[in-house]
Each structure stands twice: as C-alpha cells, then as structure tokens.
Amino acid sequence: GGLVGAVLTGGLTLGALFGLMAILGIAVRNSLVTLHHAQGLERAGLEFGPDLVTRAAKERAGVILTTALVTAVAILPLIFLGNIAGQELLNTLAIVLLCGLVTTTVVNLLVIPALYAQFHPEPDSEDLYLTDQVVMGAAD
C-alpha cells in the first residue's frame, strides 16, 4: 500500500521514504503485539486453535483500527492541502502513510492471525514465546 502511494506521488522521494518508515513501524508493532496477545492467551490456559487465534485478533482489532483511524484523521488535512509550495514533503508523506495504513490494517487483522495459525511453533519449542523478548512495554 505504501509503495502504491509512493508511485502515485511520483516515486521514492524523501516524504515517501518517511511515510514508508512510519508504516513499517506501525505494522511491526501491531503484528508483534497481536502475536504477544495470542501467546498470552495460550499461557492463560486456552488451547491453541482457530478459536484462540480468532479471539486474539478480535481483541486487538479495536486498537489496530483506532490507531489507523486516528492516524488517518490526523494526516487527511495534509492530503487535502495538496502540493502547496513548501508542503511537498508533507503531502507525499501523508499519501504514502494513508495508502500504507489501509494495507497494514488489513494485513494485521486478517493475514497475521492466519499466518500465526498456520505456522504456530510446537509447544516444546524455544521459539514459542519469542515475542516476550521482542515486545517491550506491551500490555497483556
């Protein structure tokens, strides 16, 4: 999504690169926190399966959607101002960010839980709770 926004705005400019970095940060954070939440449900005693993955995704959906919505509302004025002289960087950043938000939100709500269900580590694996080491400051 972010790359589509970059192409729409004329390529990989400085604004587009900043937008792509912001989207990458949002995507990684949402993905890790969703996986951490699913693993927390497992530790709480829920058996791994489609119900657990669906529950984890539903419980994180509100936060993911709120993040996307608030970010979109904050950057919409930058998009509607257009390519005013001196604002080219912000306009490009906002377009890339908005396009990336759409894709990232869909991926975090649908694709990440499906991949987790498909590639869930074995219960005896050291990798089972790897997100504990990666996610800092994530609330259970």
d(CA 106, CA 125): 29
Give a yes or no: residue 109 inside a domain. Answer: yes
d(CA 55, CA 114): 12
Give a yes or no: residue 44 inside a domain. Answer: yes
Query: Model confidence over 18-70: pLDDT tens digits?
Result: 888 999 999 999 999 999 899 889 888 888 888 899 999 999 999 999 989 99
Whole-model pTM? 0.75
Give a yes or no: residue 139 inside a domain. Answer: no
- CB burial of residue 35 (10 Å; 0-12, 13-18, 19+): buried
For the chain, the domain total comes to 1
Percentage of the chain beyond pLDDT 70 is: 81
Give a yes or no: residue 118 inside a domain. Answer: yes
- Statement: residue 79 has pLDDT above 80: yes
Domain that holds residue 90: 2-134
Give a yes or no: residue 15 inside a domain. Answer: yes
pLDDT of residue 20: 87
For 70-125, give the DSSP string.
HHHHHHHHHHHT-S-TT-HHHHHHHHHHHHHHHHHHHIIIIIHHHHHHHSPPPTT-
Give a yes or no: residue 73 inside a domain. Answer: yes
55 touches 129 (CB < 8 A) = no
